[in-house]
Structure 1
Amino acid sequence: MSPDRTTPVPSGRTADDVTTYVGARVITGDGHTVLENAILTVRDGRIAHIAPAREAGESETGAPEGAGTVVPVHGKTIMPALVNPHGHLGYMRGTVSDPRHYSRDNVVDHLRRSLYFGVSTFQSLGTDLRDIEIGLRDDQRAGRLDDPDLATLLTAGAGIVAAPTADAGSGAPFFAVDAVHPATGPEDARAHVAALAARHVDAVKFWIDDRGGTAAKLSPRTAAAIVDEAHRHGLKAAAHIYTADDARTALDAGADILAHMPRDPEPDDELIRRLLDRDVAVFTSMSVQGPATTDWLDEPILHEVLPEKTIAAFRARLDEREHEPLFDTSRTYARLQRTVATLHAAGVRLVFSPDTGVFAQLPGMAEHRELQALVEAGIPALQAIEFATRRSAHLLGLDDRGLLEPGRRADLVILDADPRDDIRNTRRISSLVIAGRTVDRDRLRDRITEATA
């Protein structure tokens, strides 16, 4: 495990900067707490104080003594920046995922887009081609990449699938066949995990999925070897699964994370008990499998970063259902909606998972679509936000963010409207603060549109 997952505080402010935000409603990210008419003070990039105004000892100006620069945000809502533990960077260009698009520049572009949409942190899960993401992450952590317009990057490096056979192809994601490692057996898989650990990956990803009978499936022995070797090096192991039986194979192997909910059939009481007994994290991954809707293409924030002709072409593809569906969308999605409600009611540790960067999961927008999918499946808005902030940050070992409380990093998304009224209000971003620094979103948008051109 890398000894330090934090990144240097972005340049653009001094160590003694103090800023106080006055008058906003604050959603803390713990799943239930909302502070009305709050005062939130940031010092040295971290939250120094947060409380309703009546408890803050404010002066006649509405700010406490020593408030520094006072920023009035009356009528707005502040929530933690989003943390995405499951996506695939670098393959999507415009709205099309293709291995020909993969490059360091495109990974950087996706990190910029993520930040623009209020995502502070992004873990790319298993599709790192030629260690480009590992190199970029290392540059970011060491301060060699002093770019304030990027989300923090974590990466699992190159994940593991079963080697193809004469009768079955690769089970790798269609867009990243050349990126993943085709394991020929347990010892080969162990060697690959050890090599990943030497490069200080942030997690280990493996796929247990025969892609509807067309691909070789990782054996239980190989899956167990992967997890055992990952744990020897202090790394969490995340298993992509499709069926409930695949989930059981992953649990037998000791996996820490199911990178999808079981999709066929729905989980039974025995499987739920096993998830609870080991407190396994289960990624929600709903919106990536949802119906081919197009209403979200009308969101103003999307039009700020994508050309109109690109959006129009994408709308036509979705209207014609040419978005490369992997399964019967309507029936599978109905099962997923029931499953997420069942798992949540049982107390299973559900964690936000947009699966960004594939199909219709546009970097930045996918995260907000996943929040909407969770709420539409019956998860209360405050708890859906907690899945995407505190829970996801904790899973990544980043307990300096994801929750608005004293001592945490000041990663703030300031919204024009309350997401409790409509979860789509998370897309109405007024301003963004990362590690205490106000992001210049106009400049960031210009950099994104220049890269698009």
Structure 2
Amino acid sequence: MTHHHPAGTTAFTDARVIVGDGTTVLDDAVITVHDGLITGVTRAPAGDLGAANVVSLRGKTVMPALVNPHGHIGYMRGTVCDPAFYSRDNILDHLRRFVYHGVSTFQCLGTDWNGTEVAIRDEQRSGALADPDLATLFTAGSGLVAAPTAGQASGAPFFAVDAVHQVTDPADGRAFVRELAGQGVDAVKFWIDDRGGAAAKLSPEACREIVDEAHRHGIKAAAHIYTVEDAKTALDAGADILAHMPRSPEPDQELIDRLVDRDIAVFTSMSVQGPARTGWLDDPFVRETLPDAAIEDLRTRMRAREPEPLFDTGETFRRLQQNFATLHQAGVRLVYSPDTGVFAQLPGVAEHRELEALVEAGLSPLEAIEFATRRSSRLLGLTDRGVIEAGRRADLLVLDADPRDDITNTRRISDVVLHGRVVDRERLRRQWQAEHEDVRAR
């Protein structure tokens, strides 16, 4: 396809369209786009297309671009996550990688260092940063953890210990959330986690102060939890989002009832725990954007753990699959969450691995796609994307194969259309490959 945003109306014809609502698929459909917005989605024929720029997508499947509400940006270079890599340039690189791999929107939860992400997000929203190849950035700014006492480790994620705020007492937590509100953060993130007994854990009182201050400013609060007990602490505090499914013990009826009654969003965060399979590293989808040395380094690290994942254990993953089924059957609002940017969760790639994990956990491919498009858009309060219908942004993922046959077909990307403009993926790919050659030549 032509890599520009054509004037007038574009009609994408002859496509199989996965709408993104979890059920609807239109064969031989026409998507008309004007000024970046979808103006119609019809079964062919669509009437007179004489005034339109007509682009045939015969043999292709079109779905909405992915929307990721949970990850961490700027810390990974190649396949290694390290605070030494954090920079504005690396964040921008990740936002381009998201677009290349079909992700239109990304929210970083709580690991912003010195307001770098807030600044980029504000530049995007003001138009000062008008690069069309960047995913839309949302950020929770810097998250909150309990301040460690002598001899304790920090409860912060290992790669962002210096980026998060260490809460000394409940009043301090409230004061810091007030600062975050002044930055206009899109969410507030706090960690309830003692890291296996090695770290201090936020007190219930501190959690209540954090969430109450967030709500005073109309901001949703997301709690990182792993256990049923900590999930209940988060709910007691009034949290709106659980950034992970509880792992142990199995969710009890009390927790399930509370999650359903308050319509709490529970992030799936499954693929970050997945088994240490390495076959996906050979996918052209991965290899065309990363140097061989980085891929082989990750393969070596993963094989050293086989059959366990880089993070936690295979038993945890099996428990997550079981708990997913329990929560989903009970009607809990589960939301797609790749937890991108850590361990083996490569920016732009993790999003597709999470889709695969959701199908393995029992969803149909169409249901998994709805989780990653309409449902995640709604969580971010976005009504302009996530579904292929009139009035929405034309953020489209054009695929060479139907993901209903195999969910990994979402990785067989022919084109990405962002706000009606066909992304020049070849140019991005050449740019990354030139950087790899430059590094190798040094």
> What TM-score do the two structures reach when normalised by structure 2?
0.96
Residue 361 in structure 1 maps to residue 345 in structure 2: yes
2:210 aligned residue: 226
Residue 298 in structure 1 maps to residue 282 in structure 2: yes
1:39 equivalent among 20, 30, 42: 30
Letter in 2 for 1:410: A
The residue correspondences of 1:28-427 to structure 2 (distance < 5 A) are: 28-53=19-44, 56=46, 58=47, 64-65=48-49, 68-321=52-305, 325-327=310-312, 329-427=313-411
After superposition, the C-alpha distances for 1:251-292 in whole angstroms (9 at most, x for unaligned) are 111100000000111211111111000000000000001111
1:3 aligned residue: none
C-alpha distance in structure 2 between counterparts of 1:451 and 1:361, whole Å = 21
C-alpha distance in structure 1 between counterparts of 2:71 and 2:433, whole Å = 22
Contact 1:341 1:379 in 2 (8 A): no
C-alpha distance in structure 2 between counterparts of 1:325 and 1:163, whole Å = 27
Report deviation, 1:450.
4.1
1:26 aligned residue: 17
Report deviation, 1:169.
1.9
After superposition, the C-alpha distances for 1:194-239 in whole angstroms (9 at most, x for unaligned) are 1011011110000000011101000001001111000000100000
Letter in 2 for 1:45: G
Report deviation, 1:451.
4.7
Residue 13 in structure 1 maps to residue 5 in structure 2: yes
Contact 1:121 1:151 in 2 (8 A): yes
1:6 aligned residue: none
Contact 1:288 1:355 in 2 (8 A): yes
Q: Structure 1: where are the runs of 5+ without partners?
A: 1-10, 59-63
After superposition, the C-alpha distances for 1:50-106 in whole angstroms (9 at most, x for unaligned) are 02115x3x3xxxxx4455111111111000000000010011111111110100011
Report deviation, 1:168.
2.5
Contact 1:236 1:256 in 2 (8 A): yes
Letter in 1 for 2:15: A
**Residues 361/375 of structure 1: CA separation in 2 closer, same or farther (3 Å cut):** same
After superposition, the C-alpha distances for 1:291-350 in whole angstroms (9 at most, x for unaligned) are 1110110111111101112212211111111998443x1111111011111111111111
Contact 1:85 1:124 in 2 (8 A): yes
Q: Structure 2: where are the runs of 5+ without partners?
A: none
1:7 aligned residue: none
**Residues 324/103 of structure 1: CA separation in 2 closer, same or farther (3 Å cut):** farther
SS at match of 1:373: helix
Contact 1:324 1:359 in 2 (8 A): no
C-alpha distance in structure 2 between counterparts of 1:241 and 1:87, whole Å = 15
**Residues 324/101 of structure 1: CA separation in 2 closer, same or farther (3 Å cut):** farther
SS at match of 1:213: coil
SS at match of 1:129: coil
C-alpha distance in structure 2 between counterparts of 1:356 and 1:140, whole Å = 21
SS at match of 1:164: coil
C-alpha distance in structure 2 between counterparts of 1:449 and 1:88, whole Å = 24
Report deviation, 1:12.
5.0
Report deviation, 1:448.
3.1
Count of paired positions: 434
Percent sequence identity over aligned pairs: 66
SS at match of 1:89: coil
Letter in 1 for 2:271: S
Letter in 2 for 1:106: N
1:444 aligned residue: 428
Report deviation, 1:142.
1.1
Report deviation, 1:149.
1.3
C-alpha distance in structure 1 between counterparts of 2:425 and 2:358, whole Å = 27
SS at match of 1:279: coil
Mean Cα displacement is larger for which, 64-73 or 165-174? Answer: 64-73
Contact 1:391 1:402 in 2 (8 A): yes
C-alpha distance in structure 1 between counterparts of 2:310 and 2:350, whole Å = 16
C-alpha distance in structure 1 between counterparts of 2:399 and 2:302, whole Å = 29
Contact 1:112 1:448 in 2 (8 A): no
SS at match of 2:376: helix
C-alpha distance in structure 2 between counterparts of 1:234 and 1:77, whole Å = 39
